[in-house]
Structure 1
Amino acid sequence: MYILQESLFSFEELQKLESKERLPIFFSSIDLRPYAKDLRNSSPRGADGHCRQGILRALLAAPLENIDTFTGLHHRLDVDLRFRYQCGLRLDRKAPSIATLSRVFSELTNKGLAKRLFEDLVAQCKQEGIIDGSHVAIDSAAINAYEKKQPKRKSELTGNANWGAKFDSFGNKAKWFGYKLHLAVDTASELPMALSVTPAHVNDGDMAPTLMEQVATGTKVKFFMLDAGYDQLKNYEAARNVKAQAIIPMNLRNEKEPPAGMTSSGTPCCSMGFAMTYWGADGDQLKFRCPHATGKVDCPLGMAACSSSNYGMVVKVDTKSDLRRYSSPHRDTKRWKELYNERTSVERCNSRLKRYLTADALHVWGIQKVTTHQYLNAIVLLASALAMARQSKRAAA
């Protein structure tokens, strides 16, 4: 738990350091040699003579230093010799050109190396106890495109940027042209565990099952927290398939009224119409007791009209009978609300990616390159958490 708590603020702590101190700490957490090896051309150092590992380090340092263009990165490498040296690039040569930086970025994209590095870092964070993974929050964020705006119908044919709309936390409808970043985040560390990028018009609920499956590979997830926009049966089923529970508020716009004898939150009603009292779960069975017997209401008929037992009438509900309506823990409970409140971790992760890094400062186009750009930003968060956790361990030793 000590490391988990440390990782909550490690990235902000790293940001407070000067660049000359921040970069060595950051690079200490990742070994880029296996990935740089796959970037090399047939020539040992590449046709342009620049070390591929150095360029890869520079591409990762860019979002950390809030550099969002290849032009800006080239300029920083050209004028800041310390920065170039810390990236592992030679000082007796000119800085890599804009074209070289762009070409290596394209190689990262074509060979899927950014995704591989991301997944390897997630695995390392799990091994070192930084990522727990038992509670996961899922949500999407709007990403504005660096592409020429087109009519929606024409954009759908390209599979790249498109028009999207979303309601903010105040109920205002926001429109944008670009993409959606879909994130699955460990709620304890607030670190990303899986991500995907889609055109902005893609429905959030369509992407959740894939993210759940990716996260659950090698991780025992207990709960997935999602907002009401994901209130679709397939998302409850996807969570159930990986032996987890989806915690999603019911979107009452999807139904006119609850089934007879049931509240909108899935609580059975007694014969007098009172909501019964939730009394715990036994496996897939939810147990509800007479509300008069539990002191929740003062029924004019007492318990005798419904049950001859002093315990009062009991109703059991099988959660498998309606995965969307029934949840364990039950929707009306304090525990359910506590779990749902953990969903804000994905919002904070999205905020870090946009506010401190360059997730929403695109200067590449096409969904594949945009995805690589998002992976590089997510890698910075993971590597930062690893670096600060290891530094804390060394300091405590």
Structure 2
Amino acid sequence: MTIIRQGSLFGLQELYDLEPTQRFEAIFSAIDIDPIFAVVTKKSRLGRPVELNYAAMIYSLVARISERIPFIKDLVKRLKNDMIFRLDCGFLVSDSVPSEAAYSRMLTIISESNILEEVQETLLHQAIQEGFITDDTVAIDATHFEARDQAPPKDHEKPKEEPKKRGRKSKEEREKWLIEKAEREANLSIFEKKIEDQLNVPLAELRNEIPQDPQWGVKKNSEGKNVFWYGYKGHLAVGTSSQYILQSLFSSGSLNDGKAAIPLLKGIQERVPLPSLRYETMDAGYDYEPIYTQIHQMGHQAVIAYNKRNEPEPIGFDKHFAPTCFREYSYRYDSFDPKYETLKYTRPKECKECPLANEGLCQKIYKIRITTDLRKYTAPARGSKAWKSIFKRRTAVERVNAYLKGYFQLDNVRYRTGKRAKVHFDIITLVYNASKLAVDRINAQLNQQQAA
């Protein structure tokens, strides 16, 4: 019997095992730098003379992430001392090596535009066109990374409030308090308001108003204790099978994870032409009704872990909100009717020999519209095998977060302002997706060679 050996897939680790020249060529070919070049090049005859190779500088910033070079000064030193590296980045022998100040000026220009997001979108469209992104599920989660600056005391964030007066307010005091409260709420930014206020706000406005300065953040560790840190958050929407970053968002560390979900979802809806998408999966930190509403408006289904929040036990339903019979056995999830948006449940197995069923006191079939409560009734139904199977795919976004920190220097933020830190984050996500596209193209070539 002939033994056929299955060829292993080429992955990110294998990409990094390649010679630098091969790796750079594969990654650079996946990025269209022309729009970035148009933004950073000098457009006036006045001022300093143009002596810099801006295209090579852009490529060298990509190579810095790929080579895990921690500082710009180390990048400049590497370019001066390593001729092969300099040529790989696109510099000519006659080109002078840019200074740290030149790189700083270029990054400042990039930070004033959204050009990296546009290049990222072009890359995703190319990957979709080449058939590498065919996901039906998106996983959303956030990861934190610390700022370079020394963190201020946590008490510095919130001034001490005056002690409240005890007792009931008079009519005049209550009217004054209500007016002041309405004024305060009207002056709040969109991310300081409730999540439901984001539903009718355009995507461009949401992305422009997101806070980006370093702030104190808090998370629970594996022991359930609060851990405080000072810095930023990266919010990602990742295709669970392709593991491309379909949307990303940079914010202050204090922003609640749930408040970043709707901008990510709207970004998927407006910027990612992927008709195969059906599900969005998230952990319990995103269990807010407006997020379910946004997903329902997109025509997709939400697979989000339920956060009980001290709610009373439902009567006539189990913990997964499936209906129960008189003897409190749970009905079994059968199917979902997309036309009427209805979940179908069938009689429990234990009811086959139940006298109540024979007397007609126990229904054979239960149907529930998911629009009755989008948070409780999801398709597939909570607790079902299909729901659990989709929810397990959420680990893809955790894997990508680990890649960004382990391979792409997400933890190495070397800028004091949120705008410059965002450029660092955008370059990292761009290089990651470019690396994924490079790997997929190499795998496609290998498969073609094996088939030939």
Quick check: TM above 0.5?
yes
Question: Structure 1 CA distance, aligned partners of 2:434 and 2:312?
Answer: 48
| Counterpart residue type for residue 79 of structure 1 | N
Aligned length: 385
Question: Structure 1 CA distance, aligned partners of 2:8 and 2:394?
Answer: 17
Match for residue 281 of structure 2 among 225, 236, 254: 225
Match for residue 411 of structure 2 among 346, 360, 380: 360
Secondary structure class of the residue paired with 1:352: helix
Matches within 5 A, 1:55-94: 55-94=57-96
Match for residue 259 of structure 2 among 203, 206, 222: 206
Q: Is the 8 A contact 1:50 1:89 kept in 2?
A: no
Closer, same or farther: CA 153–222 of 1 in aligned 2, 3 Å: farther
Closer, same or farther: CA 65–384 of 1 in aligned 2, 3 Å: same
Q: 1:33-60: CA deviations, max 9, x gaps?
A: 2321221012689835111111110111
Closer, same or farther: CA 7–179 of 1 in aligned 2, 3 Å: farther
In structure 1, the residue matched to 2:437 is 386
Q: Is the 8 A contact 1:125 1:382 kept in 2?
A: no
In structure 2, the residue matched to 1:215 is 268
Q: Which has the larger radius of gyration?
A: 2
Which runs of 4 or more aligned residues in structure 1 lie more than 6 Å from their structure 2 counterparts after TM superposition? none
In structure 2, the residue matched to 1:288 is 345
Q: Is the 8 A contact 1:197 1:371 kept in 2?
A: yes
Matches within 5 A, 1:44-55: 47-55=49-57
Match for residue 297 of structure 2 among 241, 248, 253: 241
Using the TM superposition, name which of 334-343 and 159-168 deviates more. Answer: 159-168
Using the TM superposition, name which of 150-159 and 234-243 deviates more. Answer: 150-159
Question: Structure 1 CA distance, aligned partners of 2:9 and 2:373?
Answer: 36
Percent identity for Structure 1 against Structure 2: 29
Q: Confirm whether residue 330 of structure 1 aligns to residue 381 of structure 2.
A: yes
Q: Is the 8 A contact 1:307 1:313 kept in 2?
A: no
Give the Å deviation of 1:264: 2.1
Q: Is the 8 A contact 2:413 2:421 kept in 1?
A: yes
| Counterpart residue type for residue 24 of structure 1 | E
Give the Å deviation of 1:204: 0.5
Closer, same or farther: CA 201–296 of 1 in aligned 2, 3 Å: farther
Unpaired runs of at least 5, structure 1 = 1-5
Q: Confirm whether residue 347 of structure 1 aligns to residue 398 of structure 2.
A: yes
Closer, same or farther: CA 8–48 of 1 in aligned 2, 3 Å: farther
Match for residue 190 of structure 1 among 222, 243, 258: 243
In structure 2, the residue matched to 1:376 is 427
Closer, same or farther: CA 392–256 of 1 in aligned 2, 3 Å: closer
Matches within 5 A, 1:293-312: 295-296=349-350, 300-307=354-361, 312=363
Question: Structure 2 CA distance, aligned partners of 1:389 and 1:85?
Answer: 26
Closer, same or farther: CA 212–9 of 1 in aligned 2, 3 Å: farther
| Counterpart residue type for residue 315 of structure 2 | A
Using the TM superposition, name which of 339-348 and 19-28 deviates more. Answer: 19-28
In structure 2, the residue matched to 1:3 is none
| Counterpart residue type for residue 95 of structure 1 | V
Q: Is the 8 A contact 2:302 2:379 kept in 1?
A: no
Q: Is the 8 A contact 2:213 2:418 kept in 1?
A: yes
Match for residue 136 of structure 1 among 135, 138, 159: 138
Q: Confirm whether residue 165 of structure 1 aligns to residue 166 of structure 2.
A: no
Secondary structure class of the residue paired with 1:122: helix
Secondary structure class of the residue paired with 2:323: coil
Closer, same or farther: CA 159–65 of 1 in aligned 2, 3 Å: closer
Match for residue 259 of structure 1 among 300, 306, 314: 314
Give the TM-score of the pair, scaled to structure 2: 0.80
Q: Is the 8 A contact 1:146 1:365 kept in 2?
A: yes
Question: Structure 1 CA distance, aligned partners of 2:222 and 2:315?
Answer: 32
Give the TM-score of the pair, scaled to structure 1: 0.90
